[in-house]
Chain A
Amino acid sequence: DAKTTQPPSMDCAEGRAANLPCNHSTISGNEYVYWYRQIHSQGPQYIIHGLKNNETNEMASLIITEDRKSSTLILPHATLRDTAVYYCIVRILSGGGADGLTFGKGTHLIIQP
């Protein structure tokens, strides 16, 4: 799986949009971008994933650049409960390569009241 680069920490004011960047400049054409988050003392939680089109669900939006070398996870109206470590992961779906999720250190997002 390709490596990802994320800032170690970010702050965001409650009620504002939180924009979490991720660089994956060596991503391959068959690798998806996944986002998980981990709230303190809990297991990781799936947020969203995409290949090249932008994706949106009830939790967040995922914006992938046209060259697919970077992406941004957007939490539209951050709340205190969104304080967590956010992991950006690139992963091949079926076929060759590792099928397990390869986590980095992620971004510690702190929502300020």
Chain B
Amino acid sequence: EAGVVQSPRYKIIEKKQPVAFWCNPISGHNTLYWYLQNLGQGPELLIRYENEEAVDDSQLPKDRFSAERLKGVDSTLKIQPAELGDSAVYLCASSWHRDTEAFFGQGTRLTVV
């Protein structure tokens, strides 16, 4: 069974440009998470979806970040415009239910120059 798939693995963009990350969760998983991980730190939750509904987006910087999960399956996370401080690894995770263990993708490493 395929795990959580994220693309691209790496992205380099200039500041002020837009960028989007894509996540395909494990089939049948209702809960989807986006996390941000800075170098040397643990992952930090950005947003959590239950099916297509965003149920916890309190840590998402809404002035420049947006996310969607159409049809309750795949999800995209967008940054517009990107800033130098957005350089980090963006991780997607999914779980069958919010109370079950989460499975993580390999992440997208974003570098803003």
Q: Please report A residues at the B interface, Cβ cutoff 8 Å.
A: 34, 41-46, 49, 85, 87, 93-94, 98-106
Cβ-closest chain A residue relative to B59 = A100
29 A–B pairs (Cβ distance < 8 Å), ordered by A = A41-B106, A42-B107, A43-B93, A43-B104, A43-B105, A43-B107, A44-B91, A45-B104, A46-B101, A46-B103, A85-B42, A87-B42, A94-B99, A98-B45, A98-B56, A99-B48, A99-B56, A99-B99, A100-B33, A100-B45, A100-B48, A100-B56, A101-B45, A101-B102, A102-B45, A104-B42, A105-B40, A105-B41, A105-B42
Q: Please report B residues at the A interface, Cβ cutoff 8 Å.
A: 4, 33, 40-45, 48, 55-56, 91, 93, 98-99, 101-107
Cβ-defined partner of B106 (8 Å) among A34, A43, A49, A105: A43
CA distance A41 to B33 in the complex (A): 19
Contact yes or no, B43 A103, CB < 8 A = yes
Other than the given A43-B106, A94-B98, A101-B43, 18 more pairs (CB < 8 A) read A41-B106, A42-B107, A43-B4, A43-B91, A43-B93, A43-B104, A44-B43, A44-B91, A44-B93, A46-B102, A49-B101, A93-B99, A94-B99, A98-B56, A100-B56, A101-B33, A105-B41, A105-B42
Q: Is the interface of B mostly helix, strand, loop or mixed?
A: loop
CA distance A93 to B105 in the complex (A): 22
CA distance A4 to B43 in the complex (A): 15
For residue B10, give the distance in angstroms from its CB to the closest CB of chain A: 11
Q: Which 8 A-B pairs have the closest CB atoms?
A: A103-B42, A43-B104, A100-B45, A46-B101, A93-B99, A99-B98, A44-B104, A103-B43
CA distance A34 to B100 in the complex (A): 11
For residue B50, give the distance in angstroms from its CB to the closest CB of chain A: 9
For residue A75, give the distance in angstroms from its CB to the closest CB of chain B: 18
Residues of B within 8 A of A45 (CB): 104
Residues of A within 8 A of B105 (CB): 43
